[in-house]
């Protein structure tokens, strides 16, 4: 390349004059140049005026071309480049995406992963794929494409991924209960979540640099209790064993624990008859140990997802209603019902023995507040997380394992119960297009990929007039549900911090449509911020946003399933900033069981971003989850080290 964009010949001449002026000053302002310098400056100044004009025109032409290239990358390629970006920024982004390290001064070298000979077989990097078909006329082709036609290097944000160690096991993301990500054993042969949990990575590369978090802000650390700590009879399981484990957690200064209060246990048999006995015993143990409590109002079932080790259905009286009126559940295009939770279509419908769904949730939360008043008054309960959908998350159940979904399928829209269908019809008629009162008929199935569908492919119907109408309605239903339930949660828990959990749907994030997010209700294609409206709704109620997958690395996902075009790092960065932009607290949790130092380092980097001009950081972190594996000596020592660094304490064994 003749010369990188941004330097004209006039600028070069000015630089030369400045250099010579500096030399004069260095000589004591004697005011003379060498003969060679005199000749060089004279030649420049005697250059014909016409030649200088031609040079300026060539420079303007080069800059215009560069501007078009960058505009195309931003619009069609998901690159979030700065306003005055140049070719250097693009090259740096591509190099980082390929796993190289690019320093601020431009020095570029392979990461230690690529230089380590311990890798058994070479892995095709994301950018080492056939080039995509050219974009004609500045637009995006509307035809269906094969996966090879996708641009594997698209970025919604430009990041520097943490290098992955050769000795580190790959963590392939799939979604389980509570927004947890688990390995898909059917896709990975004989591997299982138990195998992943048993793998311990203790041989951290001694050359791997770690940040020193000593003196950084204090971020509280909580630990999730096992799903079945309270059985279906509302009895505390193994109180002595749990008490011993909590003492150990307390010994390393863990701040508290998180527990699910299951609707299907507490209000199991009869409406408005609540049994809190097991939770009273548990909370008393927590108080005696001087720990804090994060309590989840869990209005979903447990047992239908990967990594669920207990079964807790919805209340029996609710499932009885569902037998005669299955439309109380979310429904897909084929009419399959999902009994994980209640459809948002009945939020205002009196179909639950004279009560609406929102009234049922409010009565449950009010009962909890009255029953555990002393724990609120003493400050033992530090936060209430309100369940807003499947797995307690604010999303549609679009990727249900029970319906055959497997990672990285895009999932399906869940709006075909009669109540949401009625809402869609009303919205279409209000818009003046009654023919739009339908769900997309070309959006594929649970395990489709975006390019295989007419709705989600590049230039597909998701960006048509009808598509934008449908997705706006679909996402507004999600936000409206969160708004209604949190309004009542504020009344029930006045004076207590409340939070809502948002799932980290990171697969297909590097495509234009973000198909998996759209199916789950997050209207977040490459040209729209789908999390801003959720953050604004939470701001209205001063609620915290709890987000998952802060320990996942984009390069790991590319190694396991490069076709998924996943980008957990980009997604985390977008969601955290959407919340911070409206000044609400942001908490987080890991998606996969984490026992290695590299995973903890990734969490720390997200918890306390380096050089953030506003000093922003997570308000709390909740570790998934208390287990025998965590309590093993070598794993627990790593966890203790992690807690110290989250608290801003110094550790003595930093790898620098």
- Which of these is catalytic: 97, 349, 559, 589? 589
**589 in catalytic set:** yes
Distance (Å, rounded) from C-alpha 419 to C-alpha 468?
21
Distance (Å, rounded) from C-alpha 175 to C-alpha 181?
4
For 368, the token pair is 């909890």
For 291, the token pair is 């720990």
Distance (Å, rounded) from C-alpha 260 to C-alpha 242?
15
**Dihedral of the CA atoms 561, 563, 565, 568 (nearest 10)?**
-10
Here the contacts of 346-353 (C-beta below 8 Å, separation 24 or greater) are: 346/419, 347/480, 347/481, 347/484, 347/485, 349/419, 351/321, 351/325, 352/271, 352/318, 352/321, 352/328, 353/271, 353/317, 353/321
CB 623 within 8 A of CB 252: no
Which residue from 179, 219, 207, 121 is spatially nearest to 307, judged by alpha carbons? 179
**36 in catalytic set:** no
- DSSP strand pairing (221-224 vs 292-298): unpaired
- Which of these is catalytic: 340, 393, 412, 551? 393
CB 343 within 8 A of CB 327: yes
Which residue from 190, 181, 414, 411 is spatially nearest to 306, judged by alpha carbons? 181
Q: Which residues pair with 294 in a beta bridge?
A: 258, 383
CB 5 within 8 A of CB 63: yes
Q: Residue 252 contacts by C-beta under 8 Å, 6 or more apart in sequence?
A: 636, 639, 640, 643
Distance (Å, rounded) from C-alpha 391 to C-alpha 624?
14
- The H-assigned helical ranges of 292-417 are 316-324, 357-371, 373-377
List, as one string, the DSSP characters of 199-228: -------TT------TTSPP--EEEEPPTT
Tokens 């697969």, located at residue: 507
65 CA to centre of own chain: 35
CB 174 within 8 A of CB 182: yes
Burial class of residue 244, CB neighbours in 10 A (0-12, 13-18, 19+): exposed
**CB atoms closer than 10 angstroms to residue 494:** 10
Q: How many CA atoms lie within 13 A of 471 on its CB side?
A: 26
3-class DSSP state of 507: coil
- DSSP strand pairing (497-502 vs 544-547): parallel
- Residues assigned a catalytic role: 393, 589
């Amino acid at each position: 390349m003749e010369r990188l964009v941004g330097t004209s010949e006039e600028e070069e001449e000015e630089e030369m004059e400045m250099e010579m002026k500096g030399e004069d000053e260095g000589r004591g302002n004697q005011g003379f140049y060498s003969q060679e310098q005199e000749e060089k400056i004279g030649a420049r100044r005697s250059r014909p005026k016409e030649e200088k004009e031609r040079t300026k025109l060539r420079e303007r032409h080069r800059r215009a071309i560069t501007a078009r290239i960058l505009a195309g990358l931003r619009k069609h390629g998901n690159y979030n480049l700065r306003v005055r970006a140049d070719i250097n920024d693009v090259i740096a982004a591509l190099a980082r995406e390929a796993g190289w390290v690019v320093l601020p001064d431009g020095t570029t070298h392979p990461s230690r992963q690529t230089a380590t000979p311990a890798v058994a077989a070479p892995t095709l990097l994301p950018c080492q794929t056939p080039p995509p078909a050219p974009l004609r006329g500045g637009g995006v082709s509307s035809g269906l494409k094969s996966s090879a036609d996708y641009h594997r290097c698209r970025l919604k944000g430009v990041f520097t991924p943490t290098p992955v160690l050769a000795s580190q096991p790959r963590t392939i993301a799939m979604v389980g209960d509570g927004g947890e990500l688990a390995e898909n054993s059917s896709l990975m042969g004989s591997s299982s979540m138990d195998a992943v949990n048993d793998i311990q990575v203790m041989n951290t590369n001694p050359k791997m640099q770690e940040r020193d978090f000593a003196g950084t802000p204090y971020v509280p650390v909580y630990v999730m209790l096992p799903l079945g700590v309270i059985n279906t009879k509302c009895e505390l399981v193994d109180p002595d064993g749990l008490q011993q484990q909590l003492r150990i957690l307390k010994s390393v200064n863990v701040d508290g624990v998180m527990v699910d209060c299951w609707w299907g246990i507490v209000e199991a048999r009869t409406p408005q008859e609540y049994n809190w006995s097991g939770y009273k015993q548990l909370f008393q143990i927590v108080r005696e140990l001087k720990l804090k409590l994060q309590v989840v109002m869990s209005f979903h079932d447990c047992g239908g997802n990967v990594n669920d080790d207990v079964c807790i259905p919805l209340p029996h009286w609710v499932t009885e209603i569902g037998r005669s009126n299955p439309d109380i559940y979310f429904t897909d295009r084929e009419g399959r019902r999902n009994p994980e939770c209640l459809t948002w279509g009945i939020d205002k419908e009196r179909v639950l023995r004279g009560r609406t769904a929102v009234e049922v949730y409010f009565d449950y939360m009010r009962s909890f507040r009255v029953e555990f008043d002393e724990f609120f008054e003493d400050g033992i309960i530090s936060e209430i997380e309100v369940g807003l959908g499947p797995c307690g998350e604010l999303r549609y159940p679009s990727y249900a394992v029970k319906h055959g979904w497997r990672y990285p399928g895009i999932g399906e829209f869940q709006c075909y119960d009669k109540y949401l269908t009625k809402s869609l019809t009303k919205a279409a008629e209000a818009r003046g297009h009654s023919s739009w009162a339908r769900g997309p008929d070309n959006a594929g199935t649970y395990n489709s990929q975006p390019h295989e569908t007419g709705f989600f492919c590049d230039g597909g119907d998701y960006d048509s007039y009808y598509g934008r109408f449908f997705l706006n309605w679909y996402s507004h239903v999600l936000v409206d549900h969160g708004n209604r339930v949190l309004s009542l949660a504020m009344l029930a828990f006045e004076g207590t911090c409340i939070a809502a959990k948002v799932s980290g749907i990171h697969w297909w994030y590097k495509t234009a449509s973000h198909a998996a997010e759209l199916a789950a209700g997050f209207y977040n294609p490459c040209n729209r911020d789908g999390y801003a409206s959720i953050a604004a709704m939470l701001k209205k109620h001063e609620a915290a946003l709890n987000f998952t997958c802060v320990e996942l690395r984009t390069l790991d996902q590319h190694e396991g399933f490069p076709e998924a075009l996943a980008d957990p790092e980009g997604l985390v960065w977008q969601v955290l900033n959407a919340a911070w932009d409206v000044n609400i607290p942001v908490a987080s949790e890991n998606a996969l069981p984490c026992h290695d130092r590299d995973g903890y380092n990734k969490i720390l980097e997200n918890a306390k971003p380096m050089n953030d001009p506003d000093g922003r950081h997570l308000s709390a972190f909740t570790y998934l989850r208390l287990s025998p594996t965590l309590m093993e000596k070598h794993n627990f020592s790593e966890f203790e080290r992690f807690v110290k660094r989250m608290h801003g304490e110094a550790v003595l064994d930093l790898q620098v």
